[in-house]
Amino acid sequence: MLRVCVVGMGPIGNLHARIYQEDDLAQLVGVCDIIKERAQAAGERFGVPWFLNAQKMLEALAPEVVSVATGGFEYASDHYEPTIQALEAGCHVLCEKPIHNEIEKAEEMVRVARERRRCFGINLNHRFTPAARLAKQWMLEGRLGDLLFCNMALWIGKPGLFDSPYFHIKALNPHSADIMRYYCGDVSKIHCFAMKAPGRNIWSTASFNVQFACGAVGHLTSSYDLARGHPMERCEVAGTKGRFVLEDMWREVTLYPADSLVKQVYTNPIFGGFRDFDDTFRDRIHKFLEQVSQGVAPEDIDGSGADGLAAQKIIQAGIQSLETGTVVDVV
């Protein structure tokens, strides 16, 4: 059983803590937040010591695993310091997405984890579902053949004003960029267009054309302008032997073989299947605990810090394309 602490006790941090308490592989031993009311309330809720300073918590409790669920500017600026502190204290770290919107700091987070030989994961939870894994299995079995294209769409209605014109692009698309990489590999080039919907102060809907390093092409549409009450995510990947369509992360995935009119469908079961979005967190967190417990090499962690960094580089190149009106290399 791994001793776990959580840093950042907003709604997501509380969800992490609750899941750790439910997981047989973990023992939640402490929580931390810079806001006293949050830290104290979480400590009392979960029956563990609470702290206002992450470094003091690390020194007092010596956890083996730390979840970093802080926020900050553009939803990520507060990830860096507690992640570095935990890694340097010898902890394995699971950090919320985005890893960090400053590429240099994200690179340092990955570098420190690599040098310390600590497992460093990002909560790229959209890939952690039975349907998403089945689609990946179909690819590994060669059932799609040579890759041709990927069409990805992700929209979450999120009204209001934000602290950056790029908030939507940076906060939402670590998921979509990661899913595209999960199935098709690294992106080499990107061209982005975006709009500000009526009344918005951000680029609230965006369209990205991409070329993958493998030669395949792709497209991503993301938006904060559509309501949440309908399906919100769709990924289609096609190759010379077939294609699949993955709907809403866990709800359904369909394989369309090129040489047959009979399709294969996985639908999330009512009994024993995913209940709601929180189950993507449960699956992702359990997988991280499982891999750490099994001694999996840091470079082999599913949804690693390196994966999170690669997603942010795609996003950053997309923003550069939007600003310059040009096709940008992803480096």
Pair (73, 147) in one structural domain: no
pLDDT over 90 at 229, yes or no: no
The CATH code of the domain that includes 9 is 3.40.50.720
What is the model's pTM? 0.96
Pair (169, 260) in one structural domain: yes
d(CA 121, CA 118): 10
Pair (139, 226) in one structural domain: yes
Pair (164, 276) in one structural domain: yes
What mean pLDDT is predicted for residues 32-36? 98
Chosen domain end from 118, 149, 164? 118
Residue 231 confidence class, pLDDT cut points 50, 70, 90: confident
pLDDT over 80 at 230, yes or no: no
How high is the pLDDT of residue 226? 92
Range of the domain at 168: 128-282+311-329
Pair (85, 205) in one structural domain: no
User: Would you say residue 169 lies in a domain?
Assistant: yes
User: Would you say residue 34 lies in a domain?
Assistant: yes
Chosen domain end from 58, 87, 118? 118
Chosen domain end from 118, 138, 162? 118
User: Would you say residue 292 lies in a domain?
Assistant: no
User: Would you say residue 256 lies in a domain?
Assistant: yes
Pair (98, 135) in one structural domain: no
d(CA 268, CA 285): 20
How high is the pLDDT of residue 171? 95
Q: What is the rounded average pLDDT for all residues in the chain? A: 97
What mean pLDDT is predicted for residues 271-293? 97
Pair (136, 278) in one structural domain: yes
Pair (62, 16) in one structural domain: yes
d(CA 286, CA 84): 22
Collapsing DSSP states into helix, strand and coil, what is residue 160? coil
User: Would you say residue 75 lies in a domain?
Assistant: yes
d(CA 146, CA 253): 20
User: Would you say residue 266 lies in a domain?
Assistant: yes
User: Would you say residue 109 lies in a domain?
Assistant: yes
How high is the pLDDT of residue 274? 97
Pair (223, 324) in one structural domain: yes
Pair (52, 190) in one structural domain: no
Place of tokens 């590994």: 140
User: Would you say residue 290 lies in a domain?
Assistant: no
Contacts of 252 (CB under 8 A, 6+ apart): 131, 246, 265, 266, 267, 268
How high is the pLDDT of residue 66? 98
The CATH code of the domain that includes 254 is 3.30.360.10
Number of domains composing the chain: 2
Calculate what percentage of the chain has a pLDDT beyond 70: 100
What mean pLDDT is predicted for residues 102-120? 98
Pair (194, 105) in one structural domain: no
Pair (246, 173) in one structural domain: yes
Q: Which stretches does DSSP call E strand in the chain?
A: 2-7, 26-32, 50-51, 65-68, 92-95, 120-122, 147-155, 187-195, 205-212, 217-223, 233-239, 242-247, 252-257, 264-267, 328-329
DSSP state of 202: S
pLDDT in tens, 114-158: 999 999 999 999 999 999 999 999 999 999 999 999 999 999 999
Name the phi and psi angles at 326, rounded to 5: -125, 165
